[in-house]
Structure 1
């Protein structure tokens, strides 16, 4: 053995004694990071948590906070563990995938606006710990799919409004800004009364399984019972109020000034684009927003956080959602394969 090779082996051996075995990993995962404890959740001992994916390089890095879908009733922070969390972290983005309080079937525990307040607290935690997690505090995006897409839109459109940021004054980061620099929303629910009406349709996937709709569980009643809540939780209302065509009575909204990435499946039976994403994109454009719209052909719902990223470049084909495995399966390229390069360009250009 040459002297040079012996020195190299010694250095490698010493490195593994001093540093963890994953020293050469492209990113690190911090699981179950507690971002808040809110006393008005069902279990007073519940700590709200998220998983943090942090690139191993020095930073600071742009970041994106992700909120899962699940009709405000299902899901958790692990929903992005097999796709966007690792994928984006490997490419230089800190990803904070969070949980938030969930409603219960039958309308026994409505969670509006609690889930938005939780998301605000998570965003404050992320920015407040920017140095610890190698985050550039001036380059934070929010994103999500379905219910999470609605929450991401509302985070942007309500920014630092006191009604949503001052509820929990004892939070360590209660005074930290919740302004965001970009929004990513996949097949989000932007018009709550419209979506409630659609879920009453027998063609809706989940219609036969509950006495109440997901929206009724979320708000504690129908749009007739709680009209203000349905209005307040609909992102499209904030955007339409900022339409340029309104002239002098158009309402300024800082959320209109950030760039938006909106994607959806063109054959979505759960959140039909023609009633949600398409009019929302039109409203954003009418208000003067910078919008990247990415309709995905031949696919429906669930794919953004329950689908794979394989790196294939073809359009998605032969895709379906397996309800037993809770997995979006494709024989060829996946919807996320179709979206990924477009999303990376959007983030690179805007963060």
Structure 2
């Protein structure tokens, strides 16, 4: 990923904690919200936490959506779908609970803390923890769907394609990089330098993409596609200047070529973070994703 001058850089920055809304004094009706649940303790690292949104009262074991946040593997908040969703009331996770799901949004170590595949290992631990605690949380861990945006979509796809022990029923990605080895080809000429050790992808894998081709390939979801892949829904803006639209197409083509189910939804005129589309189109992206998740666990 690289940042063109035309893109509003403030939207990629993490929210200002001084301006973030305070937590609500009471839970949304029908939703039990557990914040900061520790799911892993790594030696030499901070404890890793997740937030949980659960139906209240629990109607019985419910399917689980694991949401993976974006932020170029470098920053981000685990409960943030991006700037187009911060004003929603009730919030997007509460809406998913009302649709019959539990939602888990885990932290993972960022690229300033660990390189690939450390992030993937963290998310595997999060999914395994949910399975271990499923009875007391009234979760149907056998019906887990992954959902991520941007870098989180990349990680969700990697997890869905490599987690043999805890397979997912499906995966939703929004404007995610999927093939690091072809990022330069998919950008306008001169728009991306794979020899630069300072790109977000280079920081993820520990060096320039051209210097570490095997690691770049291993960090690319397209490299792990098999016929046994779960169903995928890929939404990508046609005018994305951060992660080219072609990246979404590469993953879908690889999945279909392997005989797996994959849907590509081009969001016409959409830029990264759903910049450039009206609110009702953002709502349609969310609704289409939820409808796909419902089909996956039906």
Please classify the TM superposition score into its range, dividing by the shorter chain length.
0.7 to 0.9
**Corresponding residue number in structure 2 for 1:159:** 163
1:122-142 alpha-carbon deviations (Å, 9 max, x no partner)? 010111111222211210011
- For structure 2, list consecutive stretches of 5 or more residues without a partner in the other structure: 1-24
- CA–CA distance in structure 2, aligned partners of residues 299 and 118 of structure 1: 31
What residue number does 1:284 align with? 255
SS in 1 for 2:36: strand
Give, in angstroms, the shift of residue 199 of structure 1: 7.4
Whether contact under 8 Å (1:200, 1:213) holds in the other structure is no
- Map 1:56-75 onto structure 2 (within 5 A): 56=56, 57-75=58-76
CA contact (8 A) 1:196 1:215 kept: no
**Alpha-carbon deviation of 1:91?**
1.3
Higher relative contact order (CA 8 A, sep 6+): 2
**2:104 — aligned with what?**
96
Equivalence for 1:270: 242
Q: 1:272 to 1:286 in 2, by over 3 A?
A: same
Shift of 1:143: 1.3
Task: Return closer, same or farther for 1:181/1:283 CA change in 2, 3 Å cut-off.
Answer: same
Which of residues 205, 211, 231 is equivalent to 1:259?
Answer: 231
- Return closer, same or farther for 1:45/1:38 CA change in 2, 3 Å cut-off: closer
Instruction: Give a deviation string over 1:262-316, Cα, whole Å, max 9, x none.
Output: 1111110011112x1012112211211122222211211123xxxxxxxxxxxxx
Partner of 1:46: 46
Question: 2:283 maps to what in 1?
Answer: 337
1:141 aligns with one of 130, 139, 145: 145
1:196-215 superposed matches below 5 A: 203=191, 212-215=198-201
Q: Distance in 1 between matches of 2:47 and 2:185?
A: 34
TM-score of the superposed pair, with normalisation by structure 2: 0.80
* SS of equivalent residue, structure 2 residue 104: strand
Q: Evaluate the alpha carbon distance shift between residue 215 and residue 199 of structure 1 in structure 2; reply closer, same or farther with a 3 A threshold.
A: farther
Match of 2:160, SS? helix
CA contact 2:79–2:105 (8 Å) conserved in 1? yes
Q: What is the rounded CA distance, in whole Å, between the counterparts of 1:24 and 1:178 in structure 2?
A: 30
Q: CA RMSD in A?
A: 2.5
Aligned to 2:8: none
CA contact (8 A) 2:197 2:207 kept: no
Contact 1:49 1:77 in 2 (8 A): no
**Aligned match of 1:249:** none
Partner Cα separation in structure 2 for residue 124 and residue 281 of structure 1: 27
Corresponding residue SS for 2:42:
coil
SS of match in other structure, 2:137:
coil
Aligned to 1:223: 209
1: CA distance, partners of 2:270 / 2:211: 34
What is the total number of aligned residue pairs between the two structures? 263
CA distance, structure 1, for counterparts of residue 160 and residue 214 of structure 2 = 20
- Give, in whole Å, the separation in 1 of the partners of 2:27 and 2:47: 30
CA 1:48–1:200 in 2, change beyond 3 Å: closer, same or farther? farther
- Measure, in 2, the Cα distance between the counterparts of 1:296 and 1:85: 22
CA distance in 1, matches of 2:111, 2:27: 40
Provide the secondary structure at the position in 1 that maps to 2:109: coil
